[in-house]
Amino acid sequence: MAKIDIGPPDYKKFLPPVIKENYGKWLYHEHVKPGVLKHVGPDGELYSIRVGNPRLVSVDFIRDLCELADQYCDGYLRFTSRNNVEFLTPNVGNVDPLIEACNAKGLPVGGTGKSLSNIVHTQGWVHCHTPASDASGIVKAVMDDLYEYFGRDDLPAKLTVAMACCLNMCGACHCSDIAIVGVHRTPPQINHELIRKGTEIPSLVACCPTAAIRPDPKNKSVTVVDERCMYCGNCYTMSPGMAIMDAKNDGVAIMVGGKVSNARSAPSFSRMVIPFLPNNPPRWPEAVEAVRHIVEVWLAHAHESERVGEWIERVGWERFFELTGIPFTDKLIDDYIFSRETFRTTAAFKY
């Protein structure tokens, strides 16, 4: 690869030797026990030890991880897209001592196979400028409640949970078994003075996905057609004069049934089942209870290797609402006119 002065370096320089030697030649993979994967190739084997960790971490925490990697894995580790850490070692004798060292530091080992993986989430109140809810706070509360499922692998299938603090969804809410999405319920409050001082009005108008924002030449500002607004908050990204956050009316919605893999069935998008739950920090009991209830109903009724969405498709959405006791309302009807039932989401070829 040609050397350039911009962009990331070539990832191959940072691969462990055993991965370089077996690259593209792996023979098979084994799930040894919760949190431990074994990868076997013609030129050796590799063990991945998965550890759950927070998404937002300190430099000191990263140094602790690096010390463990130096001691047991020749310095090799990686971060997964769901905020797990995987320590990589070719030495089977280092696996159990590494797990003991992780447990001593309070780092849970698990999240592989038929278990709950770590929760992927967005920035929330700590950093994002358009959140309808927090991310780290809800994730902490939900994961504390579901923690038992991270270290065991006797679930019907793997379970993924995601959290996005607004409808822009920089989390994986559209493709997770259960998702928590922050929702605004009121249009932005326009500060005309701020808009006049420093906003490119054409860009502000163009940023609205539903054309709810219209120019207001008389006031050198904009207006909002309330009935067209979908409360996404994208306009606040373009101008601080479009304040979307509303402490009284903001909250979260619950979605279920998404997945990325092609195993057994095609990938699928999540669908909303609870349109609104209130923001109730610091522990969000309503959201925690809702997620726990859906998980327990799935555990009680799903077949072997059946993801949440696959279970719902088998029993039917009517039966899902009956089993969970979640009330069905008009807010749950998917009326997005641009979606198509035949939208191609699978990698499988059909002739």
pLDDT values of the chain reduced to their tens digit, one per residue, 351 residues: 566 667 788 888 889 999 999 999 999 999 999 999 999 999 999 999 999 999 889 999 999 999 999 999 999 999 998 889 999 999 999 999 999 999 999 999 999 999 999 999 988 888 888 899 999 999 999 999 999 999 999 999 999 999 999 887 777 888 899 999 999 999 999 999 999 998 999 999 999 999 999 999 999 999 999 999 999 889 999 999 999 999 999 999 999 999 988 888 888 889 999 999 999 999 999 999 999 999 999 999 999 999 999 999 999 999 999 999 999 998 888 776 665 555 555 665 554
Q: What are phi and psi of 214, to 5 degrees?
A: -125, 145
pTM, rounded to two decimals? 0.89
Exposure string over 79-118, b if 16+ CB within 10 A, otherwise e = eeebbbbbbbbbeeebbeebbebbeeeebbbbbbbbbbbb
- DSSP letter, residue 207: T
User: 280: how many CB neighbours lie within 10 A of its CB?
Assistant: 16
Q: Answer for the pair 62, 41: CB distance below 8 angstroms, yes or no.
A: no
Q: Mind giving me the DSSP string for 183-201?
A: E--SPPEE-HHHHHHH--H
* CA 6 – CA 27 distance, rounded (Å): 36
**For the purposes of burial, counting CB atoms within 10 Å of the CB of 349, is it exposed (0-12), middle (13-18) or buried (19 or more)?**
exposed
Give the domains, in start order, of the chain with CATH numbers: 11-104 (3.30.70.3340), 120-185+248-332 (3.30.413.10), 189-243 (3.30.70.20)
3-state helix, strand, coil in the chain (%, to 5): 35, 20, 45
Amino acid (one-letter) located at 40 = V
Secondary structure, 3-state, 266-290: CCECCEEEEEEEECCCCCCHHHHHH
- Find residue 195's DSSP bridge partners: none
* CA 73 – CA 39 distance, rounded (Å): 15
Secondary structure, 3-state, 144-184: HHHHHHCCCCCCCCCECEEEECCCCCCCCHHHCCEEEEEEC
Q: Give the alpha-carbon dihedral of 236, 239, 242, 248, to 10 degrees.
A: 40
